[in-house]
Chain A
Amino acid sequence: MNRAFIAALESIYPADRLLTREVELLPYESDALTAFSAVPGAVVLPVNEAEIIDTVRLCHEQAVPFVARGSGTSLSGGSLPIPDGLTIGLNRLNRIKKLDPEQRIAVVEPGVINLAITEAAQPYGLYYAPDPSSQSICTIGGNIAFNSGGAHCLKYGMTSNHVLGMKVVLADGALTQFGGESIEGVGIGPDLIGLFVGSEGLFGIALEITVRLMPQPELYRTVLAAYDDLGRAGDAVSMVVASGLLPGAMEIMDRLAIKAAEASVQAGYPDAEALLIVELEGEAPQVEAEFDQLRGIIDESGAFEVRVANDEEERTRIWKGRKGAFSAVGRLSPDYIVQDGVVPRSRLGEALVEISALKEKYQLEVANVFHAGDGNLHPLILYDGREDGALEKAEALAGEILALCIRLGGSITGEHGIGMEKRDYLPAMFSEEEIDIMQALRLAIDPKEIANRGKMFPGGEAPALAQHGMHPLERAGVISRE
């Protein structure tokens, strides 16, 4: 990073918010996908909108690539730094600027934590609906970049469906605003919110976001059903769908995922091949009636054990196991890759059979957690990075799973984004012309390709996979692992 650029940054940031020493930069070199790492040239920590705008304009002027970073929980390398580029840490812009319970909206800065909005809205009986498993730490800015969703997105949609207005600085420094406080969002004219949300940080940085809040359901009815066969759990989902019920969430976990979750939060899950969680939500009388219907379906679906959460505590426990399942896998295996494919719901069974065949082929363990309601699979591929070639093998298996999703008519990402990880698979989903058009769009907004350079689009210099294998100290016999 050249001296003049740093000097220009110094005129925007005081020393304690401009990080340039190695010890300050290393902790930023990865997001939650540690297979990739790259040391940024500098990290800045703006505290207001003006600083961000100045920084983006400076980057544009001097053609220095930048990446915005919320909490660094991206699972696709979205907030992976650009080697020697600038990382703009937005976590300090964490103010909820306005909360209007009457209109059910909140206006927030991009670094606000997803769950913090719900916490602020709770006293008014409202909440912010999109609930990625990482909601306790991921930021709204990151959610916007990836159109994040969660277990409860079947009914009310993902991030995009809950953003009503935005203020944005585009990659070339242009400032713009669209949408507002109406639930219609943009309303008249093309839906720019829909375009910006999910653009993976390639268009620019969201500075201020208006989100809609939802009334907390009066009643939840959460059912946990245990099956001795994964396919049967999948069939149960189809039965629920066919019945005309619209649950708030339908989630499945397989044996390995259950084991991890159990190790992590002792949710007291039954010992089973597959667990299905179905949750109904809404007005009490309606939910109770739907619940009777659901019970009938579940009883017929061949579950060998059915549990119903009787209070909020039991419900929380059921969900805690599910929500912590990804990171809990860290208890079973030193390394893992999370995949995020989508298949048409009716082909879930087929997909699972093929994944287990792939498991055999590669001799790797795969834990499955998925949003069954919308066919969004999260296979977690377990490997041991200390073994030679293990990462490559895991990556190859991941690739086959993505190919499978496309073959079955689905998508290579439901909510985690393409990022760095899946950029080489983009051509499998889109034609050359479609990719060209997206690229042209990107260039029209960011002629110098400085925003999140190297992500989403295939090609470009690939960063080295992170160095794995034994620690030098381990090799020298100084430390050891049990």
Chain B
Amino acid sequence: MATAIEKCVHCGFCLAACPTYSLLGEEMDSPRGRIYLMKNVLEERLEAQDAQPYIDRCLGCMACVPACPSGVEYGDLLVSYRGAQEESRRRPPLDALARKLVIEALPYPKRFRLAAQTGAIGRVISDALPAAFASMLNLLPEKLPPRLPLPPVLPAQGERRGVVALLPGCVQQVLAPAINYAAAQVLAANGIEVHSPPDAGCCGSILLHIGAEREAQKIARRNFTVFPRDIDAIITTAAGCGSGINDYELLFKGEPDAESATAFADRVMDFGAYLAELGLLAPAGFKSERRVAYQDACHLLHAQGIQSQPRTLLRQIPNLRLLSIADAGMCCGSAGTYNIDQPDIAAALGRRKVESILAAEPDLVASGNIGCITQLRQQLALLGNPLPVMHIAELLWRAYQGDR
């Protein structure tokens, strides 16, 4: 933690990249300011609870990391700091309740399904609930989509070019089972055999994000042994999972199973990055031109440096015109549970993002992350705009099926 703080030379280069600084315009809500606050808390010049609101407002979008020439590992700093502070932290009862709900429900598809269904009922009375709950309920669809189970092994079509397993994830399984379904189909169409181990589950990132380290470890461990050895990669379609798993080294530091954790992390790859590396077998594509805006998920772009790969895939789709949007690197405000913790800022960022997307006049929007997709849909709905938003896997699957 101290290294990251020491490495910060206070040059301010990260300020321009930070969504909260651009929105709020004050030093405390910038990466440099947050690092400085953390430093002062560690040096006991400042009370942790005074600094907390500013740390809480951090999206964890990691836009500041590639912007920093000095190599400050802001992500590591934030995770360690949040972890360290969590233990001594007292939360107001309602916040604590929301948090408990997140910890207890989100990582477990069955429980989350249940909670989500009651949530749908809850929406009716959401106005009467505290903001934290209301925003959470707003995220839920009217009706949960039906399950779309995948076979344990989906065979490759044509010549076999690879074997992978799918990391099922947590929330996404319930809210948008179509994503993993489409991903599996696209992979198969590309000559890749797709395994879906029945016991695989949540990677724990969402818990890590809110500083619940111990719970995160517990959840994560379950995945270490359930995947077959002889596969090329474990594929994730959720940006947050991919980047969170990158932090396993930190999360499991000093734990007995640290090695299994990194070994597991090394095998995980983002869906788009994997496919782009292997080379896409050109799909049928669209009958008429489709203008597509690609929305960079922070956890792909900033946390994993995945920028060109999804674009390469999209450009290979016949009749698809890839548009560029202003401030592409700015977070849409979804950022894990941010929507739940900081509804106002999340909404403001979401509105900005939607505005810059609409300025490019797309026919549809693609993204590599469920969080972004949900956020964009919600913001578009507020504007009454029916612009479709989908996962890049879903878009590809459409292209393979031939324009529908």
Contact = CB atoms under 8 A, between A and B. Distances in A.
Direct contact of A and B (CB under 8 A): yes
A88 B256 CA distance: 52
Contact of A137 (B7, B16, B46): B16
Interface in B21-36: 25-28, 30, 32-33, 36
Given A92-B25, A264-B69, 11 more contacts: A23-B37, A23-B51, A27-B28, A30-B10, A34-B10, A45-B25, A71-B15, A91-B25, A327-B70, A479-B2, A479-B42
Contact of B71 (A32, A71, A264, A481): A264
B9 A336 contact: yes
A23 B8 contact: no
A96 interface: no
Nearest to B3: A481
Contacts of A72: 12, 27
A328 interface: yes
A26 B37 contact: yes
Contact of B50 (A23, A28, A92): A23
A135 to B, nearest CB: 10
A361 interface: no
A289 interface: no
Given A26-B46, A471-B42, A137 B54 contact: no
A138 B12 CA distance: 8
Contact of A19 (B16, B26, B32): B26
B69 A32 contact: no
Interface residues of B, number: 38
Contact of B40 (A26, A32, A134, A482): A26
A328 B42 CA distance: 25
A480 B71 CA distance: 18
B43 interface: yes
16 contacts: A24-B26, A26-B40, A27-B28, A45-B26, A89-B25, A91-B25, A115-B16, A327-B9, A327-B13, A328-B70, A329-B9, A329-B70, A330-B7, A330-B8, A330-B69, A482-B3
Contacts of A334: 6-7
B27 A27 contact: yes
Contacts of B42: 471, 473, 479
Contacts of B44: 472-473
B1 interface: yes
Contacts of A331: 7, 70-71
A202 to B, nearest CB: 22
Nearest to A326: B11
Contacts of A309: none
A407 to B, nearest CB: 30
A90 to B, nearest CB: 10
A334 B33 CA distance: 18
Interface in A29-69: 30-32, 34, 45
Nearest to B12: A73
B68 interface: yes
B90 interface: no
Interface of B: 1-3, 6-13, 15-16, 25-28, 30, 32-33, 36-37, 39-40, 42-46, 50-51, 54, 67-72
A481 B71 CA distance: 15
A312 to B, nearest CB: 15
Interface residues of A, number: 47
Interface centre among B28, B30, B67 (most CB of A within 10 A): B28
B43 A71 contact: no
A158 interface: no
Contacts of A31: 10
Contacts of A137: 12-13, 15-16
B27 A28 contact: yes
B296 to A, nearest CB: 18
A22 B46 contact: yes
Nearest to B67: A136
A72 B10 CA distance: 9
Q: Closest 7 A-B residue pairs measured CB to CB? A: A330-B70, A324-B69, A27-B33, A327-B69, A27-B27, A330-B9, A23-B50
Contacts of B12: 32, 71-73, 134, 137-138
B33 to A, nearest CB: 4
Contacts of B9: 32, 34, 327, 329-330, 335-336
Contact of A330 (B16, B40, B43, B71): B71
Interface string A326-351: 11111100111000000000000000
Contacts of A265: 69
A105 B349 CA distance: 31
B373 to A, nearest CB: 28
Contacts of B72: 330
Most buried by B among A71, A89, A92: A71
A473 B37 CA distance: 15
A176 B70 CA distance: 41
Given A24-B28, A72-B27, A479 B1 contact: yes
A89 B29 CA distance: 14
Interface string A310-328: 0000000000000011111
Interface in A431-482: 471-474, 479-482
Contacts of A402: none
A426 interface: no
A32 B7 contact: no
Name, among B1, B26, B68, the residue most crowded by chain A CB atoms within 10 Å (CB to CB): B26
Nearest to B4: A481
A473 to B, nearest CB: 5
Contacts of B1: 479
A329 B69 CA distance: 9
A327 B16 CA distance: 15
Contacts of B46: 22-23, 26
A481 B4 CA distance: 9
A327 B27 CA distance: 19
Nearest to A28: B27
A461 B42 CA distance: 30
Contacts of A481: 2-3, 6
Interface in A78-115: 89, 91-92, 113, 115
A26 B2 contact: no
Contacts of A297: none
B69 A22 contact: no
A364 interface: no
A328 B45 CA distance: 28
A31 B2 CA distance: 20
A471 B50 CA distance: 20
